[in-house]
Chains A and B, each alone.
Chain A
Amino acid sequence: MTVLHAENVSYDIAGRSLVSNIDLACESGQFVALLGANGAGKSTLIRMLSGLERPSRGQVRLDARPIRAIDRRVLARRRAYIPQNARVEWPVAVERLVALGLMPQLPVFGDLDRAAWRKVEVALALCDLSHKTGQPATTLSGGELARAMLARALVGEPEIVIADEPLSGLDPRHAMDGVARLAALARAGRLVIASIHDLTLAARYATHVAIMRGGRLLAYGPTASTLTSSRIRAAFDVDACVQGTGAQAIVDFIARPDQPALHPFPGLVPA
């Protein structure tokens, strides 16, 4: 059982507070969807949970050990991190891209052996990319690249998968496909944490939701009881209606009547 615990973490930069006093504990088997408006502090929290950013106050513990005290290569074997809009910088073959995920497992000098290549094949098959093996990764479509990044994250068999907006820019089918893969990972006993903007997909697939606003945690708990229309209103400033639970859940939005009418030239609104 893996437990990842953010203990009252805060993150300040240049006098601004991006995350304040968030306490969040998650464990193996959970698929935690991190929800919140743009600028709510999701990415910062994700970077702290991944051990990539040091909190200004508080700390993140992985199985009771401070995550920043864990050797970076050991940590890399245990958790995978996929940033927002992950890009490939060179036209390397897709298999090579995925194989980079095994880097923390490799000795300092030495290349991939047969067993490692087998893992790459399995990860490619799992993400439905077996037919793209030798293709330059820069020529992949958005959906394929997202799957390749997921395969890269999964190839090392990490206990924890943390992804920052893994569904951004994906069409409905690929988005559904992607979130279903993450849910399957959680069912297989891993801890999955992902920031997601599509609330319907979050309501259908996530076991838990954490809702943020202005750097604070508004609510955290099992999806069905936590993702309510009043909380969505509090987090996003829109009226929402949540219908159904589980695989049939639908979250819809209605513009709030008290919102000011949009004026084409905001600076010229008559007083």
Chain B
Amino acid sequence: MVRLRQDPMPLMLALLLAAAGASLVIGKVWLPPVVLFDGLAAPKPNLAWLIVTELRIPRTVLALMVGATLGLGGAVLQGLLRNPLAEPGLLGVSGGAALGAVIAIYFGLAARFALATPLLGIAGALVAGALTFLFGRSGTLTLILAGSAVSGLAAAGLALALNFAPSPYAAYEITTWLLGSVAEKEWSQIALCTPFVLAGWLCLAATPRGLDALTLGEAQAESLGVNLNMLRVLALAGVALSVGAATAMAGAIGFVGLVAPHLVRPFVGYRPSRILLPSAVFGALLLLVTDIAIRVIPTSSELKLGVLTSLIGTPFFFWLVLRLRRMSP
């Protein structure tokens, strides 16, 4: 059993700061600090200034926000379900958000009105969350089952949209969107989604004590005065709002929500309440570093963020399986 005593937060925050700085510098056009500061000092608008404020900063902010949301959502769901394989997409919310966004692309709304994609994505996430709640509110197991049913429904909807895509170009646009990316998003889209993300974080921030009590199982948690129904509602609402809005902006980005809680857990003595913040910070770090990596890795067409997280995440999944197999023969 790995049991590490030192607090990982200072190191992770330092790395996060460094990555955020690097994220402003690195890209198709390299902006070394000297150029960056010259651009800030020179009369605006100038090229360096525009690149930083219209491309690099939104991209960085979005990567941080989406990564933190996935890390936090994964940590809360793993604590609530006491299952190390839980991830934010489990409740059908990501599927719903993706379907909503794809509907916006399918009917050409996205081309006419830039906010259509995130707006319909959020609507899709909320509808999916409401459906999961409606069918699964009575217990934890029913919540998971309802979540997978809603995910299945959303996947069917996505397949339908691809099947009936009005043109090969629309099908291509839908698939690329689904691959996930934080690049080329406008400030207005970020501004639209931020309130939902923050509201979701607020709901999730109310769960830690209940999650700790669940270390003893549901019956004992209840006997300790934890309102399990309330806890489930808070977790579901928090995930629907924050992960839904994040997916509506950035597409489906897998594995961050699964990996981040696992990697920070040994550092906090496996206490479910204590992994929320480090997991969010680690998720943000992970996604930002991955996003920097796709700018650096030379590929003929752009490597999508969600593709790289899956590529990195899958070996981790195998490692998890091996570890579980070793622990329970």
From B216, B219, B222, B227, A100 is in contact (CB under 8 Å) with B216
Question: Given A50-B223, A72-B227, A136-B1, do A86 and B217 touch, yes or no (CB 8 Å)?
Answer: yes
Q: Which residues of chain A come closer than 8 Å to B217, judged between CB atoms?
A: 83, 86-87, 89
Chain B's nearest CB lies how many Å from the CB of A90? 4
Q: Count A-B contacts at CB 8 Å.
A: 75
B194-234 contact mask (Cβ, 8 Å, vs A): 1 or 0: 00000000000000010011111101101111110000000
How distant is B140 from chain A, measured CB to nearest CB, in Å? 12
In the bound complex, CA of A100 to CA of B220 (Å): 10
**Closest B residue by C-beta to A81:** B223
Stretch among B41-49, B153-161, B241-249, B267-275 lining the A interface: B267-275
* Alpha-carbon distance between A145 and B14 when the two chains are bound, in angstroms: 40
Residues of B within 8 A of A92 (CB): 215, 269-271
Give A155 to B42 CA distance when docked, in angstroms: 66
Q: Which of A50, A89, A108 contacts B214 (CB 8 A)?
A: A89
- A96 near B213 with CB under 8 A, answer no
Q: How far is the CA of A88 from the CA of B82 in the complex (A)?
A: 10
Taking the complex as formed, is A38 at the interface, i.e. its CB lies under 8 A from any CB of chain B? no
> Is B3 in contact with chain A by the CB < 8 A criterion?
yes
Instruction: Name the residue on B nearest A74 (C-beta).
Output: B225
A101 at interface by CB-CB < 8 Å: yes
A103 with B209, Cβ < 8 A, contacts A86-B216, A97-B216, A136-B1 known: yes
* Size bracket, chain B contacts: 20 to 34
Scoring B1, B212, B216, B217 by chain A CB atoms within 10 A of each residue's CB, the highest score goes to B216
List the B side residues contacting A136 at CB < 8 Å.
1, 3, 270
A221 to B219, CA, bound (A): 29
- Residue tally, chain A, CB below 8 Å to B: 33
Are the CB atoms of B225 and A75 closer together than 8 Å?
yes
Q: Smallest CB–CB gap between A237 and chain B, Å?
A: 30
Check if A83 sits within 8 Å of B220, measured CB to CB: yes
Contact of A52 among B215, B223, B272 (CB under 8 A): B223
Interface residues as binary, B254-286 with A (CB distance below 8 Å gives 1, 0 otherwise): 000000000000000111100000000000000
Min CB–CB distance A148 → chain B (angstroms): 10
Bound-complex Cα distance A168 to B285 (A): 47
User: A42–B14 Cα gap in the complex (Å)?
Assistant: 56
Contact across chains for B219 and A52 when beta carbons are under 8 A apart: yes
Within the assembled complex, what's the spacing in Å between the Cα atoms of A224 and B95? 64
A residues in contact with B270, CB < 8 Å: 90-92, 136
A254 to B173, CA, bound (A): 78
Q: Is A73 an interface residue (CB 8 A)?
A: yes
A-B contacts, 16 of them at CB < 8 A, read: A47-B219, A72-B227, A89-B214, A89-B217, A90-B82, A90-B272, A93-B269, A96-B269, A100-B216, A101-B224, A103-B209, A103-B212, A103-B225, A136-B270, A152-B216, A152-B220
Chain A residues in contact with chain B, CB under 8 A? 47, 50, 52, 72-77, 79-83, 86-93, 96-97, 100-101, 103-104, 108, 136, 139, 149, 152
List 20 additional A-B contacts (Cβ < 8 Å) besides A72-B227, A82-B220, A103-B209: A52-B219, A52-B222, A52-B223, A76-B223, A80-B223, A81-B219, A81-B223, A83-B217, A83-B219, A83-B220, A86-B219, A90-B215, A91-B1, A92-B269, A97-B216, A100-B213, A100-B215, A108-B209, A136-B3, A149-B216
